[in-house]
């Protein structure tokens, strides 16, 4: 057990200074303004600049496009990126898809893509959810039919966040409608500039942009198939288990909390409310920060973040998301109507951080699979409870 | 509260010695404390014979400084012991006793008593609320301890009674007793601001170890519910397959996981950097108390009417989840201190 501060070597200290100086330069106010306006979770300038330093895959060897950073320097970089709220959704999906490609893609294709991915010029999004499927990814209906050396795709996907900023989508398709549900799926890496691909924006009240992507007679060469035909479920499991908190390294440096980005967002709102309480008086002239009722409620929220911070894996994801959703609603009440003033409004608290946090929290219970999907996983895999067999558990029910 | 983006290790892994402590005491408590023993010790909540075996295991001496014959075990070791104790709701006053004897050993001036406490011959405890005027207060384990450490404006004072105060029957079946600050022979050990500081940190230690015990209670309570849900059938399936039954249990294990790690993290800070995060033991107790009461209620309810019967072992855990956690007073007071600690950083 060890929670000590990490003693940095001279080289690591120099690296920390270098990261800070570089990010000061590239993560400008315009980057944040762009993010507020677009909700893209991506900034091309920042992404390419990070890629240019080898910092998108910082642990990779320099010759592969990485920066060969040791674990401490990787952690320094991750903390600085988080601290500055660098938009990282597409970076995250690219990383996730790469872990699947590395395992299962045609080695020649992977070798071709690797330097481009490292440089930031090639990015990936997730083509997982069918419009009627939601978190039931294995229920995919988007059809892929073989046609010589090609495949023809027809159907649609929802929640393909970042598609308009990516070159490929990692797509789950139905290749054998007669096989059991999980045995008729095949994964593809589909070039998004293929004829027949249409990307339509969907806006969330969390301020994000995601997409619906429509596939009409889209022809894809067989070399873009990832993994064996009808082995799509196994192909997808690698990166999916990564998304669900697996694949992290328990060396005491990495953040193992399954929902640490959610907790960081909640922390920012709590900190803003705490500063507000210290400078704001009630009509009777007393300071909000001296009000024991306010303190009691704030303390409860702080405890929930402290617990979220140390709850690992899928359980941590649920704890962080559900504490954030319940807690931000409470925090808004504690502050009152000022809390709902948006960025740019007269009197908005710290540029509207509370207002934003309240909206953004709501999506966290769905990202990467709903909290209910995770509860099912926890029940089965942590508690050993029996799996519920429903008509669509094993069979593909249309 | 520290910089949120400070570069710190987040290593929750137990080393070999810590694993040995956990396994050793886990085996001990599991073998020595069947639920029948817990029931037989009611309503007082003290089994003198078990206490002697706990002493023989070294639990009372391990956490004392080497200078007074202890092993200098850390709070990290102690929380591991306390969790195992909580898993079987062992009817022994170990948490109060260890905290009070550590306080006495560090304060000095009561060497004989500390030696007797280490040997388990005398049980010592701590009044958790400051003494104000002549107000009496309920003190955990005071029904089996005739030595009570208390803090008042006068200083940190050892109150030695001719015999322990009368037991007051209570929902958690703990050796609770009224403590009268005027009673017994009084020895001021430390006075001034130092006395208050020592008292506050002892109370935080008590809360941390109680939090650990509550994690144990929560864990066992959950286990009873999960096992029931695996075997009880309805509509042709095990009830645990139903989401209405499974999801609350999944929520409970999530809360317990956070509580356990928060207890461990708080114990590490209290051991290695006591000034950095004085709020963590309080947060650990608030979280663990919540996890334990939630685990006990959900588990009891999973077992339906059976979970509401006295014969069901879940009753032992339900009654103690609140019966142990509330001894430290209203968690609202802890929450206010936690919030105040955050506000001080801005």
Element spanning A320, H or E: helix A313-335
- Measured between CA atoms, the residue of chain B closest to residue A3 is B9
Contact list in A for residue B19 (CB cut-off 8 A) is none
In chain A, residues 232-271 whose CB comes closer than 8 Å to chain B? 250-256, 264, 267, 270-271
- Among candidates A1, A79, A319 on the partner chain, residue whose Cβ is nearest the Cβ of B7: A79
**Closest Cα to residue B123, out of B16, B226, B45, B37?**
B45
Secondary structure of residue A58 in the 3-state scheme: coil
How many Å lie between the alpha carbon of B295 and the closest alpha carbon of chain A?
Answer: 13
- Partners of B243 on chain A (C-beta within 8 Å) are 372, 375-376, 388
Interchain proximity B7–A5, CB inside 8 Å = yes
B14: chain A residues, CB-CB within 8 Å: 1
Distance from CA of A82 to the nearest CA of B (A): 8
Token duo for residue B160: 């030695």
* pLDDT less than 70: residues of chain A: 239-250
Contacts of A8 in chain B (CB under 8 A): 7
With beta carbons less than 8 A apart as the criterion, state whether B54 and B16 touch. Answer: no
Q: Are A219 and A196 in contact (CB under 8 A)?
A: yes
Element (H, E) at B36: helix B35-40
Q: Are B226 and A385 an interchain contact pair (Cβ–Cβ within 8 Å)?
A: yes
To the nearest whole number, what is the mean pLDDT of chain B? 96
* DSSP 8-state assignment for residue B187: E
Tokens of B144: 């089996």
Catalytic residues of A: 243
Residue from the list A6, A79, A372 with its beta carbon closest to the beta carbon of B5: A79
Compute the distance between CA of residue A268 and CA of residue A358 in angstroms, rounded to an integer: 12
Contacts of B193 (CB under 8 A, 6+ apart): none
A384 touches chain B (CB under 8 A): yes
Cα B113 to Cα B119: distance, rounded to the nearest angstrom: 10
Q: How many residue pairs from chains A and B have C-beta atoms closer than 8 A? A: 187
Task: Give the CA angle between residues B318, B323, B326 to the nearest 5°.
Answer: 125
Read off the tokens for A371: 């909290």
Does B336 sit within 8 Å of A375, measured CB to CB? no
A388 in B contact zone (CB under 8 Å): yes
When comparing pLDDT for B1 and B123, which is higher?
B123
* DSSP collapsed to 3 states, A35-50: HHHHCCCCCHHHHHHH
- Chain B CB within 8 Å of residue A85 CB: no
* Tokens matching residue A34: 């762009």
SS (H, E, C) B292-336: HHHHHHHHHHHCHHHHHCCCCCHHHHHHHHHHHHHHHCCHHHHHH
Say if A71 is an interface residue toward chain B (CB within 8 Å): no
In terms of Cα–Cα distance, which of A323, A322, A324, A309 is closest to A258?
A309
Instruction: Determine contact: A76 vs chain B, CB below 8 A.
Output: yes
Return the structure tokens found at A158.
Answer: 């929802």
Q: Which of B2, B3, B4 has the most A C-beta neighbours within 10 Å, making it the best mutation to test the interface with A?
A: B4
Interface test with B, best of A12, A275, A310, A391 (most B CBs within 10 A): A310
Contact check, Cβ <8 Å, A375/B250: yes
Determine which of B261, B272, B298 to mutate to test the interface with A (most A C-beta atoms within 10 Å).
Answer: B261
- What are B234's strand-pairing partners? B237
Residue whose C-alpha is closest to residue A43's, from A97, A1, A81, A16: A81
Gap between the terminal Cα atoms of chain A: 50
Residue written as tokens 């114990």? Answer: B267
Task: Quickly tell me which residue has 């500063």 as its tokens.
Answer: A275
CA distance B25 to B63: 14
Distance from CA of B215 to the nearest CA of A (A): 13
Closest chain B residue to A82, measured at CA: B5
- The token pair at B43 is 């309503």
| pLDDT score, position A245 | 44
Q: Measured between CA atoms, how close is A26 to chain B, in angstroms?
A: 20
pLDDT of residue B274: 94
Q: Which residues of B touch A382 (CB under 8 A)?
A: 250, 253
∠ CA B260-B263-B266, rounded to 5°? 150
Distance CA B126, CA B141 (A): 9
β-partners of residue A169 are A125, A190
CATH classification code of B196-344? 1.20.140.10
Residue of A nearest to B224 (CA): A383
| C-alpha span between A191 and B188 (Å, rounded) | 80
HSE-up (13 A, CA, CB side) for residue B168: 11
Q: Which of A209, A314, A323 is nearest to A265 (CA)?
A: A323
At B2 the pLDDT is 56
Query: Which candidate from B6, B14, B280 shows the least CB-CB separation from A5?
Result: B6
**Nearest Cα residue in chain A from B342:** A274
Collapsing DSSP to helix, strand or coil, B87 comes out as: helix
| Residues 6 or more apart in contact with residue A97 via CB below 8 angstroms | A124, A125, A126, A168, A170, A189, A239
ipTM over 0.90: yes
Identity of the residue in A80, A296, A315 whose CB atom sits nearest the CB atom of B332:
A296
For B80-200, list the strands marked E by DSSP: 124-126, 137-139, 147-152, 155-160, 177-179, 185-190
Taking CB atoms within 8 Å and a gap of at least 24, the contacts of A109-112 are A109/A189, A109/A223, A109/A224
Q: Quick check: helix, strand or coil at residue B8?
A: strand
Closest in B238, B249, B255 to A383, CB measured: B249
Terminal C-alpha separation, chain B:
10
Q: Which residue of A has its CA nearest to B338?
A: A299
% residues pLDDT > 70 (chain B): 99
Question: Is B240's CB within 8 Å of A386's CB?
Answer: yes
DSSP B274: T
Asked whether residue B74 carries a pLDDT value surpassing 70, the answer given is yes
- Answer yes or no: do B11 and A251 touch at CB < 8 A: yes
The backbone torsions φ and ψ at residue A40, rounded to the nearest 5 degrees and listed phi first, read -75, -25
Q: State the Cα–Cα distance between residues B323 and B91, nearest whole angstrom.
A: 13
Residue of B nearest to A2 (CA): B11
**CA–CA dist A95, A89 (Å, integer):** 10
Strands A124-127 and A168-174: parallel
Using the Cβ of A390 and the Cβ atoms of chain B, whether some distance falls under 8 Å is answered with no
Classify strands B147-152 and B124-126 as parallel, antiparallel or unpaired: parallel
Could you identify the residue written with the tokens 């040997």?
Answer: B119
Q: Chain B: nearest CA to A349, how far in angstroms? A: 15
Cα distance between residue A294 and residue B343, in whole Å: 12
Q: Do residue B286 and residue A264 have CB atoms under 8 angstroms apart?
A: no
Query: Which A positions 276-305 lie with beta carbon below 8 A of chain B?
Result: 277-278, 289, 292, 294-300, 302-303
Cβ contact A311–B238 (<8 Å): no
Give the domain A124-243 fold.
Answer: Butyryl-CoA Dehydrogenase, subunit A; domain 2 (2.40.110)
Kindly list the domain boundaries of chain B, sorted by start residue.
196-344
C-alpha span between A288 and A281 (Å, rounded): 6
Structure tokens at B294: 């939630």
**A239/A126 Cα distance (integer angstroms):** 10
DSSP annotation of B80: H
Contact in structure between A245 and A312 (CB atoms under 8 Å)? yes
- Residue ranges of domains in chain A: 10-87, 124-243, 260-382
CB-neighbour burial class of residue B78 (10 A; exposed 0-12, middle 13-18, buried 19+)? buried
Model confidence at B1, in pLDDT bands (50, 70, 90)?
Answer: very low
CB contact under 8 A, B332 and A382: no
Number of helices and strands in chain A (H, E): 13, 8
Token pair 């596939």 is found at A215
Handedness of CA A223, A229, A232, A236 (dihedral sign): negative
DSSP A263: H
- Look at the domain A260-382 and name its fold: Butyryl-CoA Dehydrogenase, subunit A; domain 3 (1.20.140)
Angle CA B207–B264–A259, to nearest 5: 115
Q: How far apart are CA B3 and CA B36, in angstroms?
A: 49
Distance between CA B146 and CA B123 in Å, rounded? 7
CA pair distance A209, A199, nearest whole angstrom: 12
Q: CA distances (Å), A129 to each of A101, A208, A369, in order?
A: 19, 17, 10
Cα(A94)–Cα(B228) distance, integer angstroms: 43
Q: Is A112 part of the contact surface with chain B (CB cutoff 8 Å)?
A: no
Integer Cα distance of B97 and B99 in angstroms: 6
Of B4, B258, B272, the CB nearest to A310: B258
At A169 the three-state DSSP class reads strand
CA distance to partner chain B, nearest, from residue A242 (Å) = 19
A chain contacts of residue B250, beta-carbon cutoff 8 Å: 318, 375-376, 378-379, 382-383
């Amino acid at each position: 057990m060890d929670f000590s501060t990490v003693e940095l070597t001279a080289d690591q200290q120099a690296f920390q200074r270098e990261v800070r100086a570089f990010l000061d330069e590239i993560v400008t106010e315009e980057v944040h303004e762009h993010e507020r306006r677009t909700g893209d979770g991506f900034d091309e300038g920042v992404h390419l600049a990070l890629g240019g330093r080898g910092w998108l895959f910082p642990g990779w060897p320099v010759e592969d496009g990485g920066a060969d950073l040791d674990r401490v320097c990787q952690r320094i970089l991750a903390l600085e990126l988080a601290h500055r709220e660098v938009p990282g959704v597409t970076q995250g999906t690219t990383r996730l898809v790469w872990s699947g490609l590395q395992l299962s893609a045609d080695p020649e294709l992977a070798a071709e893509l690797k330097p481009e991915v490292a440089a930031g010029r090639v990015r990936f999004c997730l083509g997982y959810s069918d419009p009627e499927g939601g978190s039931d990814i294995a229920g995919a209906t988007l059809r892929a039919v073989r046609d010589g050396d090609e495949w023809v795709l027809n159907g649609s996907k929802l929640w393909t966040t970042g598609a308009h900023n990516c070159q490929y989508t990692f797509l789950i398709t139905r290749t054998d409608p007669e096989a059991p549900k999980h045995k008729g799926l095949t994964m593809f890496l589909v070039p998004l500039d293929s004829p027949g691909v249409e990307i339509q924006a969907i806006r969330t009240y969390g301020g994000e942009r995601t997409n619906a992507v429509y596939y009409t007679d889209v022809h894809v060469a067989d070399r873009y198939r990832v993994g064996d035909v009808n082995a799509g479920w196994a192909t997808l499991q690698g990166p999916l288990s990564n998304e669900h908190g697996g694949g992290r390294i328990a060396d005491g440096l990495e953040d193992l909390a399954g929902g640490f980005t959610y907790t960081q967002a909640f922390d920012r709102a709590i900190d803003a409310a705490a500063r507000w309480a210290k400078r704001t008086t009630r009509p009777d002239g007393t300071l909000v920060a001296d009000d024991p009722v306010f303190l009691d409620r704030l303390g409860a929220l702080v405890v929930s973040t402290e617990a979220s911070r140390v709850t690992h894996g899928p359980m941590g994801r649920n704890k962080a998301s559900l504490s954030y959703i319940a807690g931000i609603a409470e925090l808004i009440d504690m502050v009152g109507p000022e809390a709902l003033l948006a960025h740019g409004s007269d009197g908005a608290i710290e540029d509207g951080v509370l207002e934003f946090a309240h909206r953004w929290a709501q999506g966290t219970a769905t990202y990467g699979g709903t909290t209910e999907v995770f509860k099912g996983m926890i029940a089965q895999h942590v508690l050993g409870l029996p799996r519920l067999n429903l008509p669509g558990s094993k069979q593909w029910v249309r | 509260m520290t910089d949120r983006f400070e570069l710190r290790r987040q290593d929750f892994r137990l080393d070999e010695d810590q694993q040995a402590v956990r396994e050793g005491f886990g085996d001990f408590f599991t073998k020595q404390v069947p639920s029948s023993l817990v029931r037989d010790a009611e309503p007082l909540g003290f089994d003198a014979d078990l206490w002697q075996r706990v002493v023989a295991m070294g639990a009372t001496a391990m956490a004392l400084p080497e200078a007074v014959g202890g092993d200098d075990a850390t709070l990290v070791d102690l929380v591991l012991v306390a969790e195992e104790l909580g898993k079987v709701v062992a009817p022994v006053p170990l948490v109060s006793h260890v905290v009070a004897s550590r306080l006495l050993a560090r304060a000095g001036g009561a060497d004989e008593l500390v030696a007797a406490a280490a040997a388990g011959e005398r049980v010592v405890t701590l009044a958790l609320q400051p003494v104000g005027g002549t107000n009496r207060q309920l003190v955990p384990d005071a029904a089996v301890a005739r030595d009570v450490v208390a803090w008042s404006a006068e200083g940190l004072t050892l109150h030695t009674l001719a015999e322990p105060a009368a037991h007051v029957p209570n929902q958690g079946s703990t050796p609770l007793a009224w403590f009268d600050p005027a009673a017994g022979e009084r020895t001021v050990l430390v006075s001034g601001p130092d006395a208050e500081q020592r008292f506050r940190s002892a109370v935080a230690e008590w809360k941390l170890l109680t939090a650990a015990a509550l994690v144990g209670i929560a864990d066992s309570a959950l286990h009873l519910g999960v096992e029931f849900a695996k075997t009880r059938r309805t509509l042709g399936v095990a009830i645990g397959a139903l989401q209405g039954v499974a999801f609350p249990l999944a929520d409970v294990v999530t809360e317990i996981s956070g509580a356990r790690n928060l207890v461990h993290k708080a114990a590490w800070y209290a051991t290695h950097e006591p000034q950095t995060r004085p709020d963590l033991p309080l947060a650990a107790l608030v979280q663990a108390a919540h996890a334990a009461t939630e685990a006990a209620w959900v588990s009891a309810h999973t077992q339906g009417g059976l979970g509401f019967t006295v014969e069901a072992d879940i009753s032992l855990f339900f009654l103690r989840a609140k019966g142990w956690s509330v001894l430290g007073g209203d968690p609202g007071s802890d929450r206010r201190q936690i919030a105040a600690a955050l506000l001080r950083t801005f």
